[in-house]
Amino acid sequence: MSHEQAAADLTRRTVLKASLLAGGGLALEALIPLPAGVLDAREGKSAPPAQLSAFVSIAPDGTVTIVSKNPEIGQGVKTSLPMMVADELDCDWSQVRIAQADVDQQRYGEQSAGGSTATPKNWLPMRQTGAAARAMLVQAAAMKWHVDAGELSTAKGRIFHRATGRSVSYGKVASVAATLAPPDLATVPLKEPGQFTIIGKPLVGIDSARIVKGQAIFGVDTRLPGMLYAVYEVAPAHGGRLVKADIAAAKLSPGVKHVVPIIGNGDADTGLADGVAIVASNWWLANQARSKLAVDWDLSAAKDHSSSVYRAKADAAIAAGAGTDLRLDGDPAAQLASSAKRISARYDYPFIAHATIEPQNCTARYKGGRLEIWAPSQTPQRGLETLHNALGIAPEAVTLHLTRAGGGFGRRLMNDYMVQVAAIAKAVPGVPIQLIWSREDDIRRDYYRPGGWHSFEAGIGANGDLVAFSDHFVTFGDGKTPARAAGFNVAMPPAGLIQHLHYSQSMLPTVVTTGALRAPGSNALCFASQSFLDEVALAAGTDLPQLMLSLLGERREIAAPDNRSPAFDTGRARDVIERVLQTSRWTQRPTERARAKGFAFYFSHRGYFAEVVEASVSSADVTVHKVWVAGDVGSQIVNPMGAENQVRGAVIDGLAQALTGQAIEFIDGAVQQSNFHDFPLARIPMTPEIEIAWVKSDKPPTGLGEPALPPVIPALTNAIFAATGTRIRSLPVRLKTA
């Protein structure tokens, strides 16, 4: 959507409300509808127009308080969204204080962290809110000086009348401004990019100073008078139900105050899992008492939900044929049959866990029919719905505070921990309860990135062109609908770029809970498809970047098949590919033995990313020496300090998925991994140099939490092939010792 369209959309329903702060000053509340068609947190789904509200207040001493509405999970929105307001307000960043909003849909509209959507959804509304406040302050000064507002200028929180040399601070006119009618947001003048004084500057995160001192800021740091600590013992296998619990011994364990068996609603995805809560004066004492529980679980639903069984079923599905059509363009079967060269390969990847470093946790107090919650959640508003469904607590009876979250990566899109602590708090009314999952709980009860299998086939013409392409995807689901985050992307290249293409799908049922993990779908589909296209390119006598450039062809927009997801701009794709070939000096190949570069490209979450990895292989060890990233997320990087951190983090995240051995495996629904020794994360010695180049297009800015991740994995595995001749068709990378 263009700026103009968005602005036109805003005119219709925008409401600004100004009021006087207690003690004087301006409070500006903006109820701003979002442009229709802005993406929902789940990529590819269109959301209804939502209301967004921002809240700016200016105290008589000039202090500007900006409410940050969205959850902060390390992606930097608590700093970057207020930067947009502050820049258009034209104040100095040192004047700004940021307050974390409680959850309040009526007041703030959507409050969520997911899908790299905060920047595209808020870029205009946040700036308009700041600009509106500035216009009111200017108007107040114009009235005070009996001059035309057009004669006034602003900078760093002051208003100037050059002609007479007068100036006044925002704080001095804020109370008068509060009595004025707010301007129309759709027509309030916005800065030209060249006039930005805060947007585009590398700024330190608003909470960083507290973090380095160890001050209480995360969910687990919540402390309330009389608070007790809880663990929640759930079935040892996914899909298990509680039959009988003998809690007598656990009750006598040191420090234990309450032991509460809880029968949930059996809805593992959006409800409350059965379990036994142990509440103690100290979390470690609660956790110790778990060994004293004697619980009978019904694990029958989990039988045969084992990794080996899933693999065998996937093999059978691929052997059986093409599955259900997802996309059929032209006549790929005929083209394959007649092509000069035909290649095929199978790819697969495992379930993986999010492993946020702050384990799932939540704090709650239930008193007098009201529930108060302190939650590190990415979707707190959805949490309110889940509380209602699972426990019958109406949203009006809940006060929900957002805490900073120690990582999200999609795990905290789910609110299972919130419902669990609410159930426990309800059983112990009046007592604040802090539920913390052990690391083992966290690894074993995740909403995993689902595993998947791909059977690819490609036909290459006599002139080396890719003429036909097919992918049979085996994923998880009930046969009709894929499991959460187990869907395919029918726009996946080379779709839309060649005439004859077939995408199809088969599904395996699962009791395992699955969910979105950073760049959901894309993180796996990119590995499989860009690796296979590397094989195609080599078979066609070229290389992957040249194949991609020739497939992309001339600059144009290709509409998404669903007509709702963002269109694919081949020009933007070309630009990032060409840039990374330059920055990485692609054509200069390393001369050392078993050392090479690999390339990959992907478009996800509105971001265009091309990446090159230089890696070497010695015995079975892979060393990544350097990663070059070229990314286009629009015309403006809001906070380069945070933006570069997001890209580096995404690159390291992808390298960890490939190289550390991450895989979640099941035997009869029971997760075999438990902690960082068998589900390893990246550590500092594997960190390569990472060089980032921003390709600035003229498109509105979009998000950065996710799109830099997908290409790094195939860029790495393609580099391993170039270095060794060993094609990596299965994640995690496991090389045999030479």
Partner 1 sequence: MPYRLNINGTIRRVDVPPDMPLLWVLRDELGLVGTKYGCGKGLCGACTVHVDGAARRSCQLPVGSVGHAKIHTIEHIGATVIGARLQQAWLKIDVMQCGYCQAGQIMSACALLGQTPQPDTDQIDSAMAGNICRCGCYNRIRSAIRIAAGMEEETGRVA
CB of 705 to partner 1, least distance (A): 10
CB of 635 to partner 1, least distance (A): 22
Beta strand pairing call for 275-280 and 256-262? antiparallel
Cα separation of 432 and 300, whole Å? 36
Strand ranges across the sheet with 51-58: 15-20, 26-33, 51-58, 64-68, 96-100
Whose tokens are 């895989």? That residue is 663
The residue among 113 and 268 lying less far from partner 1, judged by its C-beta, is 113
Please write down the HEC assignment for all residues of 619-671: CCEEEEEEEEEEEECCCCCCCHHHHHHHHHHHHHHHHHHHHCCCCECEECCEE
CB of 659 to partner 1, least distance (A): 13
Cross-strand bridge partners of residue 603: 608
Q: Which residues have C-beta within 8 Å of that of residue 329, sequence separation ≥ 6?
A: 495, 498, 499, 500, 501, 502
Q: Which residues have C-beta within 8 Å of that of residue 109, sequence separation ≥ 6?
A: 31, 32, 34, 50, 51, 52, 53, 69
Hey, CA dihedral for 237, 242, 247, 253, is it positive or negative?
A: positive
The residue among 404 and 606 lying less far from partner 1, judged by its C-beta, is 404
CB of 655 to partner 1, least distance (A): 9
| ∠ CA 409-410-411, rounded to 5° | 95
Cα separation of 363 and 361, whole Å? 7
CB of 640 to partner 1, least distance (A): 9
The residue among 220 and 247 lying less far from partner 1, judged by its C-beta, is 220
The residue among 72 and 87 lying less far from partner 1, judged by its C-beta, is 72
The residue among 109 and 410 lying less far from partner 1, judged by its C-beta, is 410
Cα separation of 526 and 44, whole Å? 16
The residue among 59 and 624 lying less far from partner 1, judged by its C-beta, is 624
Cα separation of 47 and 31, whole Å? 18
The residue among 75 and 475 lying less far from partner 1, judged by its C-beta, is 75
Whose tokens are 């996946």? That residue is 492
At residue 288, what is the residue type?
A: Q
At residue 620, what is the residue type?
A: A
CB of 564 to partner 1, least distance (A): 31
CB of 214 to partner 1, least distance (A): 2
Which tokens belong to 213?
A: 């001192």
Cross-strand bridge partners of residue 614: 597, 626
Residues in the chain: 738
Whose tokens are 């496991």? That residue is 734
CB of 97 to partner 1, least distance (A): 18
Q: Binding residues for partner 1, per CB under 8 A?
A: 73-76, 202-205, 207-209, 211-218, 220-221, 223, 229, 254, 281-285, 355-359, 404-409, 436, 438-439, 641-642, 644-646, 648-653, 656, 675-677, 681-685, 687, 689-690
CB of 639 to partner 1, least distance (A): 9
The residue among 220 and 402 lying less far from partner 1, judged by its C-beta, is 220
